[in-house]
Amino acid sequence: MKENEVSADDLLAGANATYSIEVPAEVIKPGANGDGKPVQVQIRPITIGGFQLILKAAKEDAALIPLLLIQEALVEPKMSLAQVQRMHLGLVEFLVSHIREISGMGEKKNF
């Protein structure tokens, strides 16, 4: 293989990566006045296949998109959609911004 040639495995390698992110205590418990400690979660990028399924599942209700993004990307702790739906908005926004970043999704559009 030449130096600048790429294999399919090279292109797909990023889809299997996991990232540890620290969720600050103030994101976990807003207004707790410094009580609590940050937590670590593991997330993975959203693949195009996963994103297509999310869009299809949320066709009737676009508000499900960020929740399904979290459910799909969250490796540890693994959570059901019902559990993700109970998260407060600040935590959802924090997680979605990190998921978008590691997935190469760029600027936030409608979700």
- The residues, ordered by sequence, that sit 6+ positions from 69 with a Cβ below 8 Å of its Cβ are 46, 54, 96, 99, 100, 111
Please tell me the predicted confidence (pLDDT) of residue 111. 45
- The strand pairing partners of 20, in sequence order, are 42
DSSP helix/strand/coil, 91: helix
Token pair of 44 as six digits = 């993975």
pLDDT (tens digit, 9 = 90+) per residue, 55-102? 999 889 999 999 999 999 999 999 999 999 999 999 999 999 999 999
Element (H or E) spanning 92, and its range?
helix 89-102
**pTM assigned to the model:** 0.81
Q: Locate the domains of the chain by residue range.
A: 8-102
Q: Given pLDDT bands bounded at 50, 70 and 90, which one contains residue 5?
A: confident
Q: Given pLDDT bands bounded at 50, 70 and 90, which one contains residue 29?
A: confident
DSSP helix/strand/coil, 72: helix
**CATH level 3 topology of 8-102:** rbstp2171 (3.30.2220)
